[in-house]
Amino acid sequence: MGKNLLENGGIEMIELLKEVGMAFVWLMLGYLVGERNAGKDKSDDQ
């Protein structure tokens, strides 16, 4: 029973977690790059 549950629902859950994980990683990367660039722009303007 446990094996069937893992084969059917487990793969979908893993794929979903991968999608969510990748989205989170890209959000964090975008945020960090944006913050770094914003900091540089402010120091350049002044």
Question: pTM of this prediction?
Answer: 0.56
Residue 41 sits at φ, ψ, to 5 deg, of: -60, -45
Q: What is the per-residue pLDDT for 32?
A: 94
Closest listed residue to residue 28, CA positions, set 36, 18, 17: 36
Provide the domain count of the chain: 1
- Indicate the SS3 state at residue 46: coil
pLDDT digits (tens, 9 = 90+) for 9-36: 677 888 999 999 999 999 999 999 999 9
Q: Whole domain around residue 43: which residue ranges?
A: 20-46
Q: What is the per-residue pLDDT for 41?
A: 73
Instruction: Please indicate, yes or no, if residue 46 is contained in any of the structural domains.
Output: yes
Instruction: Please indicate, yes or no, if residue 27 is contained in any of the structural domains.
Output: yes
